[in-house]
Amino acid sequence: MKTSKTALLLSALVCLLYLFISACSERESVSAHIEKKLQEKKDKEHGHSHGDDSGHSHKDGNDHAHEETAHHGIIETLWSGQRGPGYAELKLHDDKGDLELWLTSDKEGTKPFDIALDSEITITFSELNDKTVTLRARNNEKNEDEDGKENIREGKTNYFIFPGDTGVDASFLTGKDFVSKVVIFFKNGETRYVTDEFELSPHTH
């Protein structure tokens, strides 16, 4: 009788052990599935999967983004509170380290988002000890871009540059390999506008 009870007890323990192992395996399977879905989401946001990387890096992906925008820069949403009223396209030239910025109401860059001509746009480089630069209009007459296009409408503009004729040293921005996370910020009247942090790399010549 005692032997029979012992056998039953051992059998029960084996069953419990089996159920425990099965539950652990199932949890690991679910966890792996969740991780896979999260990775797939990240891959989709980057526009490609790691399974078919086609031999290019994320930096190459940024270069493709340059080609798809109106001025070959990087497009980011402008936020004002909880709203996204416009877009900023930031272009870094690798040869001189100069920056061009266009503000638009549409992501395609066809509708200027004009603000006061004397506005100042601040860009913060979070990976360079929060170094900042200030972009301003090129001039008060035409504020032309590097293609000669005028950018003043009723005393306002959507185009800003750095360093312009300020004499500020922009050499730290030069080079095809430059990369840094940045944030764009400015005020228009009492309204504050800011982008999310994003990675800036140059449009190469």
- Selection from 78, 105, 88, 112 nearest residue 191 by Cα: 78
> What percent of the chain shows pLDDT beyond 70?
67
The ranges assigned to domains in the chain are 2-52, 58-200
Which pTM does this prediction carry?
0.67
201 close to 178: Cβ distance less than 8 angstroms:
yes
CATH number of 58-200: 2.60.40
pLDDT score recorded for residue 118? 96
Instruction: Give the model confidence (pLDDT) of 96-114 as tens digits.
Output: 999 999 999 999 999 999 9
pLDDT score recorded for residue 1? 55
pLDDT score recorded for residue 86? 94
Instruction: Give the model confidence (pLDDT) of 8-53 as tens digits.
Output: 666 666 666 655 555 444 334 333 433 443 444 345 444 433 333 3
DSSP code at position 195: P
